[in-house]
Amino acid sequence: MNNKFGEVAGALILVGAAQFLVGMIVSEALYSGYSLANNTISALGVGPSAIIFNSSVFLFGLTVVAGAYFIMLVFGRGLVPVLFFIAGVGAMSVGMFPSNTGVIHDGVSLIIFLFGGLSAISAYRL
């Protein structure tokens, strides 16, 4: 087991999540009239802040996919890296298919929320 690969996986996912958080906050600030209480997060992908939000969520997905690769190098081909990989692809897809794409967006959003949660649950012992 190579701990350096584990550190790389953790760093990738942390940096991806941090930049997504910043991207989401900037998107909220640029979207006049956006309200966390009244709008979904997906609304940020079609408004005036769309380029920032969609790029940010795509980059987050990319870092999760890369992190899944390094998780696989540490723990082997098991459930955890597969779940992370699918969640990452889901996030990348949300960036490519914003909410104005309708059912496609709904499907890829389901992927990220479902597999993101499952990846966290499956990784708790690691």
Q: Domain span at residue 61?
A: 3-122
What is the distance between the alpha carbons of residues 50 and 30, in angstroms, rounded to a whole number? 10
What is the distance between the alpha carbons of residues 112 and 116, in angstroms, rounded to a whole number? 5
DSSP state of 42: G
pLDDT tens track, the chain, 126 positions: 568 999 999 999 999 999 999 999 999 999 999 998 999 999 999 989 999 999 999 999 999 999 999 999 998 889 999 999 999 999 999 999 999 999 999 999 999 999 999 999 998 877
Relative orientation angle of helices 50-75 and 3-30, to the nearest 10 degrees: 170
Global pTM reads 0.92
- What domain count does the chain have? 1
What is the distance between the alpha carbons of residues 3 and 73, in angstroms, rounded to a whole number? 10
Amino acid at 26: V
